[in-house]
A and B are shown apart, each in its own frame.
Chain A
Amino acid sequence: MADEIWTFSEQKNNQLREVSFELLTWGRKLADQRDTPLCAVVLADDIPETELNKLIQYGADKVYLVQNPIFAHFLVEPQVHTMQHLVEIYHPEIILAAATTTGRTVMPYLSILTHSGLTADCTDLQIEPETGNLLQIRPAIGGNIMATIKTPDTRPQMATVRPKSINLPDADPSRTGEIITVTVPAKALASRMKFEKYASEGTNTASLEEANIVVSSGLGLQPEKFPLVEDLANALGAVMGSSRPPVDHGWQPYVRQVGLSGRTISPELYVACGISGAVQHLAGIQTAKNIIAINSDPEAPIFQVADFGIVGDVDDVLPVLKKYVDEM
C-alpha cells in the first residue's frame, strides 16, 4: 500500500468538518496525477457510516477508520500515536492535513516520530511529473516569495494546507469506496492528558480559519468600543478576529489573533477595524478574497491591500455599516 495519498480528516462530535472534504479535493487532484489511491483517515469515537460515506463522495477511494472512546475529544497523544501506527503498517506516500489547530498540533509531532519532513500552511500542492514527488508551495519571507518545497528523501511527504484554499466540488453520490476499520495497539491509545471539560472563551469564538467572514479590531479600537464591532460581526454572521496589540493588552483572547504569530485565514470577506496593517498582520490575511479597511489615518498601510477603504472614525462608520447590513 506504499503508494497511497492520505488525508487526515477532522471531526467534532462525530461530524466531519468541512475542511476534511477540502483536503480530499486537494488529494484527488494529486492522486489522479499520480494514479494512486486516495485514502481518508478518520479517528472518532462513534461516527455514523453516513458521515464516512461523505468522504467517499468527496473523492476518497478508501477510508481508514479507527474508532475508540478516546477520540471523543481532541487529545494529542492518542491521535499522533494512532497515526504513527497507521504509517508503520501502511507506509503512505503523502499525508495532507489542515492548517487548523488540530492539524498544526498533530502533524509536527507526527513528523518528528516518523523522521519525515512537514511543510506547513501550503497554498498550493502539485505533483512533479518526472518523479511523482509532492511539490509543496507556500509563501515565504513574509509573503515576498513563493517557495516550492520537496521532500525527496523521506516518506511520508507531509503538508498542511489552509482551510478554504480550494473550492469544494459537489459531492458525487455515485462514487464507491472501501471503509476499513483498523485496530490499533492499546499503547497507541494511551494519553497522559485527560479531557475534563470544554470551556468556551466567551461568545463568538467559532473557528477563525473556517469562517467565511471575519471582522477584526486593532489598537485603534479601545475595549469600550468592542460592542460596535461585535454588533457588526453578528449582523454579518462573522467571526471576530484581532490584530496582535489588543491580544497583548489582554483585551482579546489569543484565539482571535490573526497574523504571523496568530492564525492565517482566507475568508471571503475580511473587515479590518482600526488596524494599521503591520506586515505581520497582513501576512495572515493575504489570501482573503475581499478586504474592507476602516481607519482614521488615510496613510495606514492597510489601505494598500484593501479592496475597499473607509477613512473615518469607527464610532461613526461601524453603526452605519451595520445599518446597511441590517437593511440588506
Chain B
Amino acid sequence: MDKKRVGIIGGGIVGTALGYHLSLHPNIEVSLFEKDQIGSGTTAKSAGTVCLFDDSISHEFWQMRLFGFQTYERMEAEEKGAAGFDKTGTLVVCTNPEVEAYTKAGIALAQGVGYSGEYITDKARIKEILPDLNLDNVLGAGWTADDGYFDATMASNTFVKKMKANGGQVFTFTKVEALKITDNKVTGLETNKGSYDFDIVVDASGAWTRYTSRMAGLELPIWHTKAEVFFLVPPAKKLSYTFPVLKYPRFYARREGDNIFICKAHLTMDLSDPMHAGIWDPDKLKPTGGTDDYFLEFLFGELEEHVPGLVDSGVASSWLGYRAEPPDFLPVLGDTSVEGYMLAIGCGGNGVIEAPMIGQDLALYIAYGQKSPLIERFAYSRFDK
C-alpha cells in the first residue's frame, strides 16, 4: 500500500491530537517534530478549562466543544490521570441578559447529551457553591458539576503515547529549521537533527506560527494576545470549599492545588491595543514571570467587584503565555497556497477544547480528502475575501 507521509510541526495539544488521529489511518505514516518536550510551550501554560457551557466558543461549534470534552473524559476513564481531569464543575456567572440567554442555551445543549446543568437564580444556592462571591448585580448563574479543567500537558503526552502505539514517530528536542519546497510543493523538512521527506507537512506550531509559516513564504494573519496568569494564595491559605471553574464575562479562574489560577478573559482582548496584542517572539517567554502590572490591577479590580472574598489574596507566582489567533479568533485549518503545506493553527485560547475535533477532521481530510464542515468553515481561504 502506498502510504502518505505526513510530518507535523509542533508537539502541543493540537499537533499531538492530530498525530494521534492520523496514526489511526493505515494509509498514513505520521511523524511529529517538537523542538522542546511534548506539551511544553503555550500548551503548558493553558488553563485547560473545557467547560460544557461557557462563552469560550459560540454554540455554533457545540459539536467541537462536546467532542473535545468527551475525548478527554474518555482518555481519563481509560487511564486515571491520563488527561489530568480535575472535576470541579463550572459556575458561569451572568451579569447581563445576553450572557444569561447564552448560558441557558448552553445548559440545554449539555442536558441534551446527558450532562447535568442548571440555571440558578437563588443567590443563597450560588453562595453555597462559591461563598466568596458578591452577587449584588448578578442575574443568576449556570452550574454544572460534570466538567472542570484538564492538564493539557498530560493530555498531549497521552495522545503521543497512543500515537506511538499505532506506529507514529515522535522526535522531541528536534527543531524544524526549513521546509523543503520544489515547484511550490512541499517535499519534506530540515531539522537540526537531519532531513526528512514528506508528502504533507502540517504546521501546528501555535504561538510560533508567524515564524514557521515564513519558511513556506507565507505571512499569516496571526497575532499574539497576552495570556497573563496569576496564582493567588487565598487569605486563609486554604479554601474550605472546592473552587469551581469560575467564569465572568471579563475574567476566569480555577483552582490550582490550594491556590487560584486567574486570567483576563480571552474574548476581551483587543487586537488593536498594544498592551493586549502584538507580534512577539515566543522563544523569549520564560516559564514564570514576565507579566505586567496592568493585568494584575485589572484582575484585582474584577475581584473587588465580583469575588471580594479573594481580594486579600497574595500572589504566589505568575506567567505569561501567548495565544496565537487570526482577527476572527477562529482556527485556520487545511490547505495553503503552497501545495502540501497545511495548517492546524490559530486556536488561540481554545486549543485544548478544539484540538480533538481538529485532529479528527483534519486527519480524515488528509487520509481521504473528505472536507468536514469544520474544515470548510476554518479554511485559510476565508481571508482571501
* Cβ A2 vs Cβ B370 within 8 A: no
Are A2 and B26 touching (Cβ within 8 A)?
no
Bound Cα distance from A180 to B63, whole angstroms:
23
From A91, A130, A152, A185, give the contact of B26 (CB < 8 A): A185
**Is A90 within 8 A of B364, CB to CB?**
yes
Complex contact B360–A2 (CB within 8 A)? yes
- Which listed residue (B21, B25, B108, B357) contacts A2, Cβ 8 A? B357
Which residues in B have their C-beta under 8 angstroms from that of A89?
A: 21, 24-25, 360, 363-364
- The complex places the Cα of A152 from the Cα of B112 at a distance, in Å, of 7
Q: List which A171-204 residues lie within 8 A (CB) of chain B.
A: 178, 180-186
| Chain B 43-71: CB-based contact to A (< 8 A → 1; otherwise 0) | 00000000000000000000100110010
Residues of B within 8 A of A298 (CB): none
Interface contact B112-A130, CB-CB below 8 Å: yes
- With both chains docked as a complex, state the minimum distance between the C-beta of B352 and any C-beta of chain A, in angstroms: 17
CB distance B112 to A186 under 8 Å?
no
Query: With the chains together, A155 CA to B363 CA distance in Å?
Result: 20
Chain B residues closer than 8 Å to A319, beta-carbon distance: none
Note all chain B residues with C-beta closer than 8 A to A85: 24
Contact flag A91-B360 (CB < 8 Å), given A1-B372, A2-B67: yes
Cβ-defined contact, A184 with B26, below 8 A: yes
- Judged by a CB distance under 8 angstroms, whether A212 is at the interface is no
Give A152 to B111 CA distance when docked, in angstroms.
Answer: 9
Any chain A CB within 8 A of the CB of B241? no
CB of A88 within 8 A of CB of B24, answer yes
B368 to chain A, nearest CB (A): 5
Within 8 A of A (CB), among B148-174: none
Residues of chain A contacted by B114 (CB below 8 angstroms): 152-153
B368 lies within 8 A of A180 (CB)? yes
For the complex, what is the distance from the CA of A90 to the CA of B372, rounded to whole Å?
11
Q: Does B228 contact A (CB under 8 A)?
A: no
A3–B60 Cα gap in the complex (Å)? 13
* Among A91, A130, A178, A181, residue most surrounded by chain B Cβ atoms (within 10 Å): A91
Q: Is B236 an interface residue (CB 8 A)?
A: no
Docked Cα-Cα span, A88 to B367, in Å, equals 14
B370 lies within 8 A of A183 (CB) = no
**CB proximity to B under 8 Å, residues A112-145:** 130-133
Please, which residue of chain B has its CB at the minimum distance from the CB of A93? B63
Contacts of B26 in A (CB 8 A): 183-186
Q: Report how far A131 CA is from B361 CA in the complex, Å.
A: 24
Closest CB of chain B to A188's CB: distance in Å?
Answer: 9
Chain A neighbourhood of B27, CB < 8 A: 183
- Binary A-proximity of B133-148 (CB < 8 A = 1, otherwise 0): 0000000000000000
Question: How far is A88 from B166 in the complex, measured between Cα atoms in Å?
Answer: 13
Question: Chain B 345-384, CB within 8 Å of chain A: the 1/0 string?
Answer: 0000000000001001101100110101000000000000
Which residues from B are CB-within-8-Å of A3?
A: 63
Q: How far is the CB of A90 from chain B (nearest CB, A)?
A: 7
A133 touches B112 (CB 8 A): yes
- Measured CB to CB, the nearest residue on chain B to A131 is B112
- Complex Cα distance, B22 from A183, in Å, reads 13
The answer to whether B111 and A91 have CB atoms under 8 Å apart is: no
- The 9 A-B residue pairs whose C-beta atoms are closest, nearest first, are A131-B112, A152-B114, A153-B114, A183-B27, A185-B26, A2-B67, A183-B26, A2-B63, A180-B368
List 13 interface pairs A-B (beta carbons < 8 Å), by A numbering: A1-B370, A1-B372, A3-B63, A88-B24, A90-B360, A130-B108, A130-B112, A131-B112, A152-B112, A152-B113, A152-B114, A155-B70, A183-B26
Beyond A2-B357, A131-B111, 15 additional contacts (C-beta under 8 Å) are A1-B361, A1-B364, A3-B63, A89-B24, A89-B360, A91-B67, A130-B108, A130-B112, A131-B113, A132-B112, A152-B112, A152-B113, A153-B114, A180-B370, A183-B25
